[in-house]
Chains A and B, each alone.
Chain A
Amino acid sequence: GAVVSQHPSWVICKSGTSVKIECRSLDFQATTMFWYRQFPKQSLMLMATSNEGSKATYEQGVEKDKFLINHASLTLSTLTVTSAHPEDSSFYICSARSPTGGGENSPLHFGNGTRLTVT
């Protein structure tokens, strides 16, 4: 079964509102989680690295004030899209690495994504 859970799986919101997406590691603790964005028929682009107990690290070109990340606990990271606009409509996916082994030997698990549509 899935080891990383995202909620909601889809959301529709009006332009100007904020939307929160949750990412949970179900059976392991994740000090680091990752948020990706994927446009239709395109690849995943890493947006930011969420760190438990410290600030998120954002990739170049990603607005940190637009995409607020909070790693509230060792099993939960949230992404809030603030003042959403239609161009923010996308598929948002989180991932986390289960701790066994370390490095590339620990599998990187992805959530099933959240489809955001801003009208």
Chain B
Amino acid sequence: QQQVKQSPQSLIVQKGGISIINCAYENTAFDYFPWYQQFPGKGPALLIAIRPDVSEKKEGRFTISFNKSAKQFSLHIMDSQPGDSASYFCAASPGTSYDKVIFGPGTSLSVIP
């Protein structure tokens, strides 16, 4: 059973457009929600993270929106660039063990010129 669901599986966006990736979870013990970016052949790198007591967090072109009641959260990439082309993973960790990172299935983003 997938603890963290993610969609779409793949996404193609034109340069300058907005990329939107959605995630959902069921486990109410999850207390920390990071997003990771992974380039081919590399390990994932933390992009941005949010706690459920915050509805939105913005860092540069990246924004997380969080809906606690719906148990959904999303990543928006504004002004998408070809260099943003990568795999994106939403994830969740329980408050009792932030080290236990449960990854979503991932979204392959391609930003075309």
Do the two shown chains form a genuine complex with each other? Answer: yes
Q: How far is the CA of A108 from the CA of B93 in the complex (A)?
A: 12
Q: How far is the CA of A43 from the CA of B105 in the complex (A)?
A: 5
Q: Is A77 an interface residue (CB 8 A)?
A: no
Contact A97/B108 with A43-B89, A110-B44 known, Cβ cut-off 8 Å: no
Interface residues on B, range: 20 to 34
Q: List 21 A-B contacts (CB under 8 A).
A: A6-B43, A34-B101, A41-B106, A42-B106, A43-B103, A43-B106, A46-B100, A49-B99, A93-B43, A93-B44, A95-B101, A104-B34, A104-B51, A104-B93, A110-B36, A110-B44, A112-B41, A112-B42, A112-B43, A113-B42, A113-B43
Q: Is A115 an interface residue (CB 8 A)?
A: yes
Q: How far is the CA of A119 from the CA of B111 in the complex (A)?
A: 35
Q: Is A107 an interface residue (CB 8 A)?
A: yes
Residues of A within 8 A of B (CB): 4, 6, 32, 34, 41-46, 49, 93, 95, 97, 103-104, 107-108, 110-113, 115
Q: How far is the CA of A6 from the CA of B44 in the complex (A)?
A: 13
Q: Is B62 an interface residue (CB 8 A)?
A: no
Taking CB atoms, residues of chain A closer than 8 Å to B36 are 110
Q: Per-residue CB proximity of B44-60 to A under 8 Å, as 1/0?
A: 11100101000000000
Contact B45 A110 (CB under 8 A): yes
